[in-house]
Amino acid sequence: MNEGLVAFVRSIIAFFLLLIYARFLGKKQISQLTLFDYVLGITIGSMAASLSIDLSSRMWPHWVALTTWTAAGLAIDFLTTKSKFAAKCIEGEPTIIIMNGVILEDNMRKLRYDASNLLQQLRSKDIFDLSEVHFAVLEPNGELSVLKKPELQPVTPKDMNIPVPKTGLGIELIYDGIVVDLNLKQINRDHYWLMSELKKFGVKDPSEVFLATYEASGSLYVDKYKDRIKKPIIVGDFKGPY
Amino acid sequence: MRKFFVIFAPIVIIAISIIVALSGTFLKKPMKGWDNVPEHMEITTKAIMADDWALAELSESKLETAWKTVIKRIQFSGERDEMHELTVSIFRLKASITSKDKSSALMELSEAREHWDGLCK
């Protein structure tokens, strides 16, 4: 038995299976995961690793276990989407910790959440004075959401009656030297328009451009491969081996 | 076309993984005639029972060759330890036949049979 070859083949299979299953499980950010989602991810990863390297057992039981856990995770996600009751039981719900500036100790006790945890999370949100907090909510994923008192919230252009220009999402027109025709069509423009705009930036061919985006204001942002910056600033403070 | 590929590719990958995982049960079966491991075990057992050591040695040699071929096919889906145990049993059987030790040879054959039956199950 060639163990290296077997490990290689099983690893390739485990890798692609994990890729597909992770795609199925959805695209929540790490910060949005509940404790259970996190543990599920670790467990599934561990099973994929076993499938890859545990040559002392057959591949099939590992495959079944991996698929079962993924299917169960998907089923729970579906259930929590369809049923509010199930979502509350399985994922929990947000709990108010501070209400109108007052700490709710009973809620904290129920969650086994103490004052030091609260102060730590407030500090991570740059709040060092408890009197600034109007509401604080502990989310199911353990994050603390904070609403400051109205008089302490940052001023917005609306408060000052300042008109603001229209904003929107930038659309990529050139990505890594290649023109994105679909996006060009989306903004009702063609290659002739693009080339005429690029000429203003001294660009003769789209292959010279690393990234070009069409902003909501109607302007074009162009970054060329050949930058004017010859020597970038070295951010590190230690010379190092390189 | 792209949508078809996006749906088709994961299905194909999952299907391939299932086939590889379950391939052992199918690939254990003889494909070339001479790679029939249970048949060689049977012939060796009968030869040893009849004290025909020359035939026993010959069929053991064929058993070894057959097993070396089959192991290459089933290695991706089978258990490493089970395959190793079967290999060890076959080599012990070889020694038993060489020393004309009937009881030891039959014990090794019985063990080898057990490992073979348990492989990829």
Locate the domains of chain B by residue range: 2-118
- In this prediction the pTM is 0.73
Tell whether the model's pLDDT for residue A217 goes beyond 90: no
Expressed in angstroms, the distance from the first to the final Cα of chain B is 40
**The residue to which tokens 């001294």 are assigned:** A202
Q: Determine phi and psi for B31, rounding to 5 degrees.
A: -115, -30
CB contact under 8 A, B13 and A59: no
Which numeric CATH code is attached to A171-224? 3.30.240.20
pLDDT in tens, B13-38: 999 999 999 988 888 888 888 889 99
Our CA-based measurement puts residue B11 at a distance from the nearest CA of chain A, in whole angstroms, of 9
What does the pLDDT read at residue B35? Answer: 87
pLDDT in tens, A151-210: 888 888 888 888 887 778 889 999 999 999 999 998 899 899 999 999 998 999 999 999
CB contact under 8 A, B76 and A6: yes
Q: Residue B109, exposed/middle/buried by CB under 10 A (0-12, 13-18, 19+)?
A: buried
A144: left (phi over 0), alpha (psi -120 to 50) or beta: beta
Q: Residue B113, exposed/middle/buried by CB under 10 A (0-12, 13-18, 19+)?
A: middle
Q: In the predicted model, what is the mean pLDDT of residues B49-75?
A: 92
Which numeric CATH code is attached to B2-118? 1.20.120
CB contact under 8 A, B75 and A17: no
Same fold for the pair A95-152 and A171-224: yes
Q: Is the minimum CB–CB distance between B13 and chain A shorter than 8 Å? A: yes
Residue B11 confidence class, pLDDT cut points 50, 70, 90: very high
Structural tokens at position B28: 């254990």
Our CA-based measurement puts residue A51 at a distance from the nearest CA of chain B, in whole angstroms, of 10
CB contact under 8 A, A58 and B21: yes
What does the pLDDT read at residue A31? Answer: 62
Locate the domains of chain A by residue range: 3-88, 95-152, 171-224
What does the pLDDT read at residue B103? Answer: 93
Q: In the predicted model, what is the mean pLDDT of residues B32-61?
A: 91
Mean pLDDT, chain A, whole residue set: 88
CA dihedral A132, A137, A143, A149 (to 10 degrees): -20
| DSSP state for residue A233 in the 8-state scheme | P
CATH topology of domain A95-152: CRO Repressor (3.30.240)
Our CA-based measurement puts residue A14 at a distance from the nearest CA of chain B, in whole angstroms, of 8
